[in-house]
């Protein structure tokens, strides 16, 4: 239990440093330095880095180690372009078959979003906002689509964590509410239009020219 708690604390600390723009993309995350900083074994640090890799927040390279992931502006633009292509039609399709049970499932998810955004938990809020889109894909019953959306949402979450302007998460949550209203009304044209606009707004909320954060891990985590 103690090891699980310690690993979670390391994951949270590094995630927060990325969210708060204290760690620069591309920063090397040396295992021993992190172990010394947190007063734990390298094994626990390695476990934490693996969890961060699963969230696409960290890249791990053989013989080189772990680094804060560094998505490019062009990669971000391409991700949002692909998401608009896929999710606009997904929203239309879901609206055509939407049931009260599907609407309830999405509203339950939005309640969690609203709570996380309300307490200004950037990491959890961003994860839940991304998962909303995955939940929509799951409700279509298309497992391939759901898996594609999981990967796209995860990669996009890193970009939004690093670059999204303050207040944008609240706006995203509000747009989810309107989208669910269109789904509940089975208005496929409106659902598709709202999804397209929503993803455009998320992309436009990104500030790619922030002040450069630090490469010094100890300073970023202190």
More confident residue, 159 or 35: 35
Architecture field, domain 2-70: Orthogonal Bundle (1.10)
Distance CA 106, CA 165 (A): 25
* CB neighbourhood size of 206 (10 A): 19
More confident residue, 133 or 121: 133
- pLDDT of residue 212 exceeding 80: no
Residue 106: its pLDDT value, please? 98
CB-based burial, 15-49: b 16+ in 10 Å, e otherwise: bbbbbebbbbbebebebeebbebbebeeebbbbbb
Residue 43: its pLDDT value, please? 94
Residue 111: its pLDDT value, please? 96
What's the pLDDT tens digit per position in 168-201? 888 999 999 999 999 999 999 999 999 999 999 9
| Structure-token pair, residue 113 | 């979003």
CATH fit for domain 73-204, picks 1.20.120.530, 3.40.50.300, 3.90.199.10, 3.50.50.60: 1.20.120.530
Question: pLDDT-derived band of residue 2, with 50, 70 and 90 as boundaries?
Answer: low
Domain extents in the chain: 2-70, 73-204
Percent of the chain with pLDDT over 70: 91
Q: Which residues pair with 29 in a beta bridge?
A: 66
Residue 1: its pLDDT value, please? 40
């Amino acid at each position: 239990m103690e090891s699980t708690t310690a690993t979670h604390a390391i994951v949270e600390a590094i995630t927060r440093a990325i969210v708060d723009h204290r760690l620069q993309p591309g920063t090397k995350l040396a295992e021993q330095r992190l172990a010394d900083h947190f007063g734990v074994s390298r094994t626990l640090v390695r476990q934490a880095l693996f969890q961060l890799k699963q969230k696409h927040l960290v890249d791990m390279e053989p013989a080189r180690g772990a680094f804060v992931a560094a998505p490019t502006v062009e990669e971000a633009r391409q991700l949002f372009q692909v998401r608009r292509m896929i999710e606009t039609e997904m929203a239309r399709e879901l609206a055509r078959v939407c049931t009260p049970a599907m609407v309830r499932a999405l509203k339950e998810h939005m309640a969690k979003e609203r709570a996380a955004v309300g307490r200004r938990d950037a990491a959890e809020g961003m994860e839940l906002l991304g998962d909303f889109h995955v939940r929509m894909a799951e409700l279509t019953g298309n497992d391939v689509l759901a898996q594609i959306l999981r990967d796209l949402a995860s990669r996009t979450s890193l970009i939004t964590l690093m670059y999204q302007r303050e207040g944008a998460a609240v706006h995203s949550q509000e747009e989810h509410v309107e989208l669910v209203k269109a789904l509940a009304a089975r208005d496929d044209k409106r659902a598709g239009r709202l999804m397209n606009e929503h993803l455009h707004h998320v992309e436009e909320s990104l500030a790619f020219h922030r002040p450069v954060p630090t490469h010094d891990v100890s300073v970023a985590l202190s």
